[in-house]
């Protein structure tokens, strides 16, 4: 008999089930699957390869269902592996569906990268959430030549991250390098002022009103193209 991981058991116990009535009877879903039907994705906890694969799969699935409809990506993460974050970021850019990002709790390190790379004018922070940015870190070990190779790679990653933050915030490279040099924590309002997000919201009505106005702008853009 397989020994149950206490952490796995803890998470499984806390994930509620939702019962849906259909013409074929009752169907039960875990709460995250139910939200996925509403085009809502959650990233909670650390950013690593397995989580990244699940998020990428959800993004691709939702695009296949409706490539023109927004996806809401809720982020509450302390960060993690940069390459795992890049996989999610590239998938967000790859699919045709616009991805709106929402920070709940915190978006730190790789979490802040995903937050700021949401669709422009559709990047949100809830009022009491926190955002943290910093340069990538590594734990190089081994021979001197191996450490040198890893050091060069992490410098390339830092340059790539800086370029992304410059593009997403509209800030100059020198400003980005300054805040990325060490852990820089921001309130939701500070993250908005810096350009990491577009809006700070407190209620669903706030968000709905902003999204409504944005939809009207998008329609006007489409008309002008024609």
* CA 74/CA 178 separation, integer angstroms: 28
| Closest-CA residue to 131 (of 62, 187, 176) | 187
Q: Is 109 a catalytic residue?
A: yes
Catalytic residue among 53, 134, 187, 199, which? 134
* CA 42/CA 20 separation, integer angstroms: 21
Contacts of 120 (CB under 8 A, 6+ apart): 198
What tokens were used for 196? 């990491």
Catalytic residue among 77, 100, 109, 129, which? 109
For the chain, give me the number of helices (H) and strands (E)?
A: 9, 9
Whether residue 89 contacts residue 82, with contact meaning beta carbons closer than 8 Å, is answered with: no
Active centre residues (catalytic): 109, 134
């Amino acid at each position: 008999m397989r020994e149950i991981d206490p952490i796995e058991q803890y998470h499984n116990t806390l994930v509620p089930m939702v019962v849906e009535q259909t013409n074929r009877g009752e169907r039960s879903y875990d709460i995250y699957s139910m939200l996925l039907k509403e085009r809502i994705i959650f990233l909670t906890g650390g950013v690593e390869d397995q989580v990244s694969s699940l998020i990428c799969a959800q993004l691709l699935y939702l695009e296949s269902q409706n490539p023109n409809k927004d996806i809401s990506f809720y982020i509450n993460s302390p960060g993690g592996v940069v390459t795992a974050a890049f996989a999610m970021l590239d998938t967000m850019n790859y699919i045709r569906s616009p991805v709106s990002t929402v920070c709940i709790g915190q978006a730190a390190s790789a979490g802040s990268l995903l937050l700021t790379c949401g669709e422009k004018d559709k990047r949100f922070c809830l009022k009491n959430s926190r955002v943290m940015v910093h340069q990538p870190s590594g734990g190089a070990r081994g021979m001197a030549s191996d450490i040198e190779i890893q050091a060069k790679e992490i410098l390339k990653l830092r340059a790539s991250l800086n370029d992304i933050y410059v593009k997403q915030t509209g800030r100059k490279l020198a400003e980005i390098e300054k805040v990325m040099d060490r852990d820089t924590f921001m309130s939701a309002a500070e993250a908005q002022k810096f350009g990491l997000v577009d809006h700070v919201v407190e209620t669903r009505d706030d968000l709905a009103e902003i999204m409504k106005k944005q939809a009207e702008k998008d329609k006007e853009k489409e008309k002008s193209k024609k």
